[in-house]
Amino acid sequence: MKIQTLTDQLRNDLYGTLVCEHCEHSQKFVGYDDANWHNNVLPAIKCSTCLRDRSGEIKGVYGEMCHDPKICAGKGYCPRDPSCCE
């Protein structure tokens, strides 16, 4: 995710919209304006649509989006796609 627009800033608190580099989905965010947030937290934020972080990886979401976790067993993740729960 990357910052698309900043709507407000109060001291170090940021408010705005993020956009996904992979699917172009946008979502609101609240963040903190310091080096740690920009270098570590922001790149790790996952898109709520495609579940990818800035690097494109899908990990750590096992069973969150799947109606039948047995389908995703052993993969370690559950991507949100139409064939996931067929």
- pLDDT tens sequence across 17-49: 999 988 899 999 999 999 999 999 999 998 888
Please give the pLDDT value at position 82.
46
59-80: pLDDT as tens digits:
654 444 455 555 555 555 555 5
Give the residue extent of every domain in the chain. Answer: 2-56
* CB < 8 Å & 24+ apart, contacts of 49-52: 49/20, 49/23, 49/25, 49/80, 50/20, 50/22, 50/23, 50/25, 50/79, 50/80, 51/77, 51/79, 51/80, 52/20, 52/22, 52/23
- Indicate yes or no: pTM above 0.85: no
